[in-house]
Amino acid sequence: MLTFLVRRLASMALVVALVSVLGFILIELPPGSALDTKIAQLRQSGGEISQEQINALEDLYGLRDPVHVKFTKWITRAVTGDFGHSFTMDMPVSKLIWSRLGFSIGLSVFALCISWGISIPLGVFSATHRHTLPDYVIQIMQFLGVAIPQFLFALVLLVFSASVLGQEVGTLFSREYQNAPWSLAKGLDFLSHVWIPVVVLIAGGTASLTRIMRANLLDVLGQQYVQTARSKGLHETRVIWRHAVRNALHPLVMALGTTLPTLISGEVVISIVLNLPTTGPLYIRALIQKDMYLGVTFLIMLSMLLIVGNLIADLLLAWVDPRVRLDES
């Protein structure tokens, strides 16, 4: 187990390093920077800016260095927690990202847990009641869950809660609680706002996980040891929950590798629609306005989220399935 862990950690470090190089180059690629916009603004407000001043500004932010120099400068500071300066927000990137990342991670993990909680019993029910009306209903819901783009579902829920429930929507807090300290009232207010993104995220995750659970359980139910368990005279619930479901679970853990990117992508999109204080809106704005350090930090942080998630999935899998452990070591 220890060698397995060490090997996974080493390869993870390599991937993180490669991802940050890739991300940096990608975001550096487009010509121009947020500084150009800033200079244009300064000019518009009447200030006369000479070429020397522009050069000085560019030197200050290191904009005229070649890419690899910029990267080295940035990465050496990044490992100490200084991710550079956001041009558009005019403050250090590190001040901007943490609370937003916190909300993103919280939302994704929360949605993932609930998706698992729903999809396991739903998948079991669907597999054990094959070709019945509830099974068909569950399957249709799955298709809809996968086929409806998440931003659209978020929009529809937004319209629903605004027009039918008469709620003030968008963001995570009502205006009066925006800067208030946490209290019971603020918590309730938070819950009345947070349900939309949570429901949208759960819908996508649950749809695919239920599908996997159903297919796996159907596979397992066809195997001979299940027949043996039945012929021993075990109660059907015991056969299913003790014998079959336990063996149908590990593909669900493996599916984490495909569920997580969907969750993170979904979270980015719907937070733009709902204007949530998470990574999504700021990331896309940073990309459009070429605020490179902000963009690259978000991209790498979101990747880290995925990489760590995959590591946890691998460890979980090694824990529940001894074959994986033995294979690797």
DSSP 278: S
Cα 14 to Cα 163, 314, 324: the distances in Å are: 50, 17, 22
DSSP assignments along 286-307, one per residue: HHHTT-HHHHHHHHHHHHHHHH
- Please identify, using beta-carbon distances, which residue of 171 and 250 lies nearer to other proteins: 171
DSSP 86: E
- Please identify, using beta-carbon distances, which residue of 234 and 257 lies nearer to other proteins: 257
Which one, of 177, 194, 213, lies nearest residue 108 by Cα? Answer: 194
Q: How many CA atoms lie within 13 A of 276 on its CB side?
A: 31
Cα 145 to Cα 88, 190, 203, 248, 258: the distances in Å are: 37, 25, 6, 22, 15
CB of 16 to other proteins, least distance (A): 8
Asked whether 277 and 103 are in contact (CB, 8 A), the reply is: yes
- Please identify, using beta-carbon distances, which residue of 9 and 18 lies nearer to other proteins: 18
Q: How many CA atoms lie within 13 A of 168 on its CB side?
A: 9
Directed axis angle between helix 256-273 and helix 279-288, to 10°? Answer: 70
Cα 8 to Cα 228, 261, 305: the distances in Å are: 38, 19, 16
- Residue 207 CA to residue 291 CA, distance in Å, equals 36
- Residue 141 CA to residue 206 CA, distance in Å, equals 10
CB of 183 to other proteins, least distance (A): 28
Asked whether 282 and 178 are in contact (CB, 8 A), the reply is: no
DSSP 118: H
- Residue 10 CA to residue 7 CA, distance in Å, equals 5
| Site for other proteins, rule CB under 8 A | 11, 14-16, 18-19, 22-23, 26-27, 29-30, 143-144, 146-152, 155-156, 158-159, 162-163, 169-170, 260-262, 264-266, 268-269, 272-273, 283-284, 287-288, 290, 295, 298-299, 302-303, 305-307, 310
